[in-house]
A = this chain, B = another copy of it.
């Protein structure tokens, strides 16, 4: 059995296990032992591939960021209408959650509340925030709206709200009042209808 390098590389098994456990149980609450057990990997292997738990957390956030950006790119390539491209952020997060199997809130939001100020994972939280604001701004500009920054901020607010409510719904099941993501998308569409291009039907 031993030396199963033939299976998935140890580094990927570690990232998979860490991703699931950090997301499911929280970063601080997940011990290194739990990650090692799920990945079927020894401590020495972990510290050969990563600088430690902090490095593993940062690598997990990096992978999440890259996959999120990739999926958003993918969805964006399927849209041509400027308003649809603005709203693509909601479709992308729906697809990301489907691919990732997410049953809770946003991993970046959770990490933002958990990681201490100097943590190496913080750079990927900043990267995510920057991607959201800059891309939404560019898409708003391309849509020819009068106030691209205002539009981008508004969409970001609805995006943040949907993911935050998902996190809170996961904590208190039974109070669900529908899907926050679809509701946010609908609100964003209505809100944009009065601000960009010709009047759109706000049904």
> Which A residues are closer than 8 A to B by beta carbons?
25-26, 28-29, 104-105, 108-116, 122, 125-126, 129-130, 133, 149, 153-154, 156-165, 167-168, 170-172, 174-175, 177-178, 180, 183-184, 187, 190-191, 194
- Chain B positions within 8 Å of A112 at CB level: 105, 167-168, 170-172
Smallest distance from the beta carbon of A126 to chain B beta carbons, Å?
4
Closest to A188 in B: B157
Q: How many copies of this chain are found per oligomer?
A: 2
Selected contact of A172 from candidates B105, B129, B167, CB within 8 Å:
B129
16 contacts between A and B (CB under 8 A): A28-B28, A29-B116, A109-B168, A110-B113, A112-B170, A126-B172, A149-B177, A153-B183, A156-B161, A157-B162, A157-B165, A157-B187, A160-B160, A160-B162, A160-B168, A194-B194
CB-nearest residue of chain B to A124: B172
